[in-house]
Structure 1
Amino acid sequence: MSQDPRPDEMQGTEQPFVAHLVELRDRLIRALLGVGVCFIALAIYPGPAGLYDLLAAPLMSALPTGATMIATSVISPFMVPIKITMLAAFVIALPVVLWQAWAFIAPGLYSHEKKLVLPLVVSSTALFYMGMAFCYFFVFGKVFTFIQQFAPKSITAAPDIESYLSFVMNMFLAFGASFEVPVVVVILARMGIVTIEKLKDFRGYFIVVAFVIAAVVTPPDVVSQLALAIPMCILYEVGIWAAQLSAPKEEAKPASADKA
């Protein structure tokens, strides 16, 4: 039996199990240090209280003049701003965390896998940030204003700070994850699970899926549902376009070229 003449890219990269554990420990420590540095910086400026005020700004601008939020727990005024500072530190340090994860798994990947994984890590991080920014700067203002328009005049709005934090985190996660649609589409196409033609044929079904997801993960108002579903549909088209650009040349050739 003839041996494969091609060199094994993985040859010489094996490491003992203990060495893997040591490297994993070091990578985790560096990731935690990145989060810790961001936490300390945010704690100094703008501070946990200032950070919460920044997060609550879209809601406060929609509430009637003089309205404030309330804390129903004794320790909520302390714990909620600290939680927000920790979450914000993790989000800001996300590139460092993902880079450490990438550096840990990179030695075990082939060169063609490295060429694909690194751009996906960078693009997925950028898209997640874009989803959160879109939610904060556009969706929150529209949703809170829309909700307040339906509030009876006999009701004084005084949202609880913990409930607001939970709502904001769920919305950030929903929009950040929904903006990952192009990455998912590219991965499915490159792994050969679906073809680009099937992705195009699935376009109509995806619109229905997008609106169903929006109805489930967002509040029961038409503004937030449309604000989530429409970008998902647009990003699906972006994913198809990106999958066509990243497809190997032999797959990108038109079918007519194979006919002789």
Structure 2
Amino acid sequence: MSEFTAKELAEVLVAIRVRLIRILAIVAVVWAISFLYISDFIIQKIKEDLLPEGANLIYQAPLEGMILKLKISLILGFIVALPYIVVLAYRTLRDRTEFFSNFEISRSQAIIYGIVSVILFAAGVAYGYTLMLPLFLQFLYESAKSQGVLAFYSLAEFINFVVMMLAVFGVIFQMPLFMYILVKNGITSLETFKYYRRHFYVAFFTVAAIVTPPDVFTQLMVGVPMVLFYEISLIVVRVLT
């Protein structure tokens, strides 16, 4: 694989400048629709399902609710536009550079990878939403309650935290697909992933310690799925390649 130079990067940016309008159009349309019809539902749903009983949400600034809706709508816009962005970036890098000279994906493979990716992301979000976050947030509430304080959460901070954690689990559950694609296309080998297994484990629990409170239970709720999916990924790659 040749070095990706600044000149090649400039060529890539020039090549996609026209298509940026399409990306912005997709984001803008989904942003507007989400702001009007979807964001309020998402906020209300998260509040009903995940806010511990006895805890309360408050506004800390007059525009907090409005800015939160704008953020959620913008995230949804980028999520919808993401497949097109990925395809565009891949084609441009493949055609104008040697960055993906040994990396070739057919249309049928791309469709399969996309479907599997959506399923895995949904599974990760489902795990976080139905199992991890309810226990996690209840633990935080009980911890505050045991200290004799009332739990009043900022609306924006509470929703942002939930969305961040769901995104983390959605990405974690992509691991089998990600490793399979790398090995299948010769970018790395299964033996490399096996060799660095312990290093990945340390990284997983470091991430878990960063995104969770300093208690063993919640760190295990984040770290163990990472380790589990790493091992599942090794099995999947060994069987399918």
Question: Could you say which residue in structure 1 is the equivalent of 2:83?
Answer: 95
Distance 2:106 2:123 in 1: 23
CA contact (8 A) 2:40 2:69 kept: yes
Secondary structure (helix, strand or coil) at the match of 2:61 reads coil
How many angstroms apart in 1 are the aligned matches of 2:227 and 2:198? 10
Structure 2 gap ranges (5+): 1-9
Q: Which residue of 1 aligns with 2:7?
A: none
Distance 1:162 1:190, change over 3 A: same
State the identity as a percent: 27
CA distance in 2, matches of 1:129, 1:33: 25
TM score, norm. by length of structure 2: 0.73
Are the counterparts in 2 of residues 130 and 179 from structure 1 also a CA contact under 8 Å? yes
State which drifts further: 104-113 or 34-43: 104-113
The alpha-carbon distance between structure 1 residues 19 and 206, as it changes in their structure 2 partners (threshold 3 A), is closer
Is 1:28 the equivalent of 2:20?
Answer: yes
| 1:235 equivalenced with 2:229 (yes/no) | yes
Instruction: Report the secondary structure of 1:227's partner residue.
Output: helix
Equivalent pair of 2:204/2:226 in contact (CA under 8 Å): yes
How many corresponding residue pairs?
226
Q: Distance in 1 between matches of 2:34 and 2:70?
A: 10
The question of 1:39 aligning with 2:31 is answered yes
Displacement, 1:76?
A: 1.0
Superposition deviation, residue 120 in structure 1 = 5.3
Equivalent-residue separation in structure 2 for 1:111 and 1:222 (angstroms): 43
| Contact kept? 2:124, 2:166, Cα under 8 Å | yes
Is residue 151 of structure 2 the alignment partner of residue 157 of structure 1? yes
- The correspondence for 2:206, drawn from 191, 194, 212, is 212
Corresponding position of 1:254: none
CA pair 188-176 structure 1, distance change in 2 beyond 3 A: same
CA contact (8 A) 1:142 1:223 kept: no
Q: Offset at 1:123?
A: 4.5
The 1:191–1:114 alpha-carbon spacing in structure 2 relative to 1, beyond 3 Å, is closer
Code of the aligned partner of 1:233: V
SS at match of 2:104: helix
Q: Which amino acid aligns with 2:161?
A: F
Provide the C-alpha distance between the structure 1 equivalents of 2:158 and 2:208, rounded to a whole number of angstroms: 19
Match in the other structure for 1:69: 57
- Map 1:97-116 onto structure 2 (within 5 A): 97-105=85-93, 107-108=95-96, 113-115=104-106
Structure 1 residues 122 and 107: CA distance shift in structure 2, 3 A: farther
Indicate conservation of the 8 Å contact 1:30/1:100, yes or no: no
Distance of 2:85 and 2:56 partners within structure 1: 36
Does 2:189 correspond to 1:176?
no
The structure that has the greater radius of gyration is 1
CA contact (8 A) 1:128 1:176 kept: yes
RMSD of Structure 2 on Structure 1 (CA): 3.4
CA distance in 1, matches of 2:158, 2:121: 21
Asked if the contact 2:145–2:151 (Cα under 8 Å) also holds between the matched residues in 1, the reply is no
Distance 1:202 1:140 in 2: 30
Q: For residue 19 of structure 1, report the CA deviation from its aligned partner.
A: 10
Quick one: higher RCO (CA 8 Å, sep 6+), 1 or 2? 2
Q: Name which of 143, 154, 160 aligns with 2:136.
A: 143
| Residues 1:41 and 1:84: Cα distance change in structure 2 (over 3 Å) | same
Structure 1 stretches of 5 or more lacking a match?
Answer: 1-16, 248-260
**CA deviation after TM superposition for structure 1 residue 145, in Å:** 1.6
Q: Secondary structure at the match of 1:114?
A: coil
CA distance in 1, matches of 2:172, 2:12: 37
